[in-house]
Structure 1
């Protein structure tokens, strides 16, 4: 990293330009006199003592008393870790304060959908969706945008990816055992791009800008299980079901137990894994809303644009299990755990 970049980042952490330069100079020289720091850094002699005193107050410099007085840089790992902890505490405090302020004024929770402005901010949010997912990530986007997420996708071997794009051929970095690929079919590409993580976060947007630096670009960020459940349904029924699967998962090599939260992702996997499959299902009895965890075997499934459920044999009895929001089945499944 260039020294100019380091100075810029230190300024973002609260140091002035002179303080940043002085600290970098001390890292180069080790314990030094103020005159040596002035000579090496170019900081005016009339300013250097104030700069070093400020660095001492901020925890970046230790003062070694004596004649002459020496200034010693604090270990960067120590001071940066301290700053990191302080920033995290401040962010957590601000989150609570902002939520409380919003509730006081509006009497309700924050909106479930936010507008994200800027292409780079959209890419960062898409990366966050992938990093934070615990079970599955659904992606429908042109290959041009998908390639921007390459490192995040390669780094996650512990979740299932279902990815739809305008593939011509499969890149090597998308050949993981945990990845299902489909080539876009009848669904129009300009309708939307989706990046969905579990039922926690979703990002969606329209056509990509031709010039990401100049054109205004907006995407939409959702954090609501109720809304995201609908997005997941649309992802499968509008896009996936109208696309051609070009790379199945390598189910036998996937680590077990394997947890999923979407009934349609479960059924797509079962089509390749075969039946029956030992499993555990966490959810609620639909009639009573009572929480339940049942173990047994998935012995059949039903998958149509309107219906998605599995037949589950538990203690000699067959139950119909649907996904979140089910009301025709016996059990509303919130988590599906494949055991073999």
Structure 2
């Protein structure tokens, strides 16, 4: 585990010898070149070149005095700089592509295939990182372990996380679920799925069909609608609550059925709720600050909640709603002060 952890520094341009030096300085503290060579086990003739390279990459500082000492720059400081650079680079890159793209966005219901466990895990992590409001997941034990720390990061950003774990995750391991997650457990092991902001969905076919070594990934709205409700009926409803949506500041949501589930929990416990709602009414975008009154849920027919402001009462359905007054884009739910 330790070796794997430090080996990841190769992503930031460090060689094997540079990793050994940086690890030594992090764990043993500042040292001279001679002292570092003895501990890290790197070639003496190369030590100053290696230190010079590490300084240039921002991983090592030097102190000149009676002794010439080297110290490791804290990993959070080094990698935070990389994250800031990467965020800026991504924004510039996407802006350039948007400005110079010669074709329109794809409108057809394309289904993309992601092959191999490593690529599937990395795609899930990327989806979690890109989330703005809501992450809904059904994961096997191995997948949960691989993405657990990224779930925690999403929670710290105020993103709602609803998670279903399968029976390969035992009760002791359930205690490692980050605080703030809405958690259910499924006795069987259905297909793994990850749904983010009702904009992206990944379904791991290997988890449901033998000899399938790929997942499907899509962004098309109507297929998202179908697979979201597949998740609701085949995974969410048959699962047992382990952690209810209890203590919270707010929940940010996009999926209507999860929104109704959370509303039902609080209204059943006589807790009044308010909503900051963005939606579509008569083909126009609207924003409302309102009180949540009730839900009306008929499985297979409708998932609806009702809100009122100073003037009107509205019914709110999902993004594909036909009967309700408002089609939901996103909503932030919080307690109504009394």
Taking only aligned residues, the RMSD between alpha carbons, in angstroms, comes to: 4.7
Q: Offset at 1:293?
A: 0.3
Aligned: 1:234 with 2:237: no
Residue segments in structure 1 that go unaligned for 5+ positions in a row = none
Residue 262 of structure 1, CA deviation:
1.9
Q: Could you tell me the TM-score, scaled by structure 2's length?
A: 0.69
Deviation at 1:272, TM superposition (A): 3.7
Residue 218, structure 1, aligned to residue 214, structure 2: yes
Query: Counterparts of 2:307 and 2:141 in 1: how far apart (Å)?
Result: 38
The residue aligned with 1:163 is 164
User: Structure 1 residues 86, 269: closer, same or farther in 2, change over 3 A?
Assistant: closer
Match of 2:69 in 1: 72
Tell me the SS of whatever aligns to 1:305. Answer: coil
Match of 1:62 in 2: 62
Contact 1:116 / 1:220 at 8 angstroms: preserved in 2?
Answer: yes
Q: Distance in 2 between matches of 1:130 and 1:307?
A: 28
Give the counterpart of 1:181 among 184, 206, 215. Answer: 184
Contact 2:62/2:71 (8 A) holds in 1 = yes
Establish whether residue 332 from structure 1 lines up as the match of residue 336 from structure 2. Answer: no
Shift of 1:289: 0.8
Tell me how far apart the structure 1 counterparts of residues 197 and 301 of structure 2 sit (CA, whole Å): 20
Provide Cα deviations, 1:27-74, integer angstroms capped at 9, x if missing partner: 75955466x7667645154x45544554454453537499xxx64314
CA distance in 2, matches of 1:109, 1:134: 21
Who is 2:192 aligned against? 193
Do the aligned residues in 2 keep the contact of 1:61 with 1:71 (CA within 8 Å)?
no
Q: Which moved more, 1:169-178 or 1:297-306?
A: 169-178
- CA change 1:48–1:165 in 2 (3 A) is closer
Q: Is 1:311 aligned to residue 310 of structure 2?
A: no
With the length of structure 1 as denominator, give the TM-score of the two structures.
0.68
Q: Which structure's CA Rg is the greater one? A: 1
Shift of residue 116, structure 1, vs aligned partner: 3.0
Q: Which runs of 5+ in 2 are unaligned?
A: none
Q: Per the alignment, do residues 231 and 58 of structure 1 end up closer, same or farther by CA in structure 2, a change over 3 Å counting?
A: same
Report the Cα offset of residue 284 of structure 1.
Answer: 3.5
3-state SS in 2 of match to 1:283: strand
Map 1:1-340 to 2 at 5 A: 8-21=7-20, 30=30, 32=32, 41=41, 43-45=43-45, 47-59=46-58, 60=60, 62=62, 64=64, 71-77=68-74, 81-82=77-78, 84-86=80-82, 88-90=84-86, 92-93=88-89, 96-97=92-93, 100-101=96-97, 104=100, 106-109=102-105, 114-127=112-125, 129=127, 133=131, 135-142=133-140, 145=143, 156=155, 159=160, 161=162, 163=164, 165=166, 172-173=174-175, 179=182, 181=184, 183=186, 189=190, 192-208=191-207, 217-222=213-218, 228-241=224-237, 243=238, 245-247=239-241, 250=244, 253-274=246-267, 277-315=272-310, 317-334=312-329, 335=331, 337-340=333-336
Shift of residue 77, structure 1, vs aligned partner: 1.6
Q: CA deviation at 1:82?
A: 4.0
Three-state SS of the structure 2 residue aligned to 1:254 is: coil
Q: Structure 1 168/88 Cα, relative in aligned 2: closer, same or farther at 3 Å?
A: closer
Distance 2:130 2:138 in 1: 18
CA distance in 1, matches of 2:130, 2:94: 22
CA contact (8 A) 2:314 2:326 kept: yes
Deviations 1:161-192 (A, max 9, x none): 2527458986653797863536468xx94xx4
- Secondary structure at the aligned position of 2:230 is classed as helix
Q: 1:88 to 1:230 in 2, by over 3 A?
A: farther
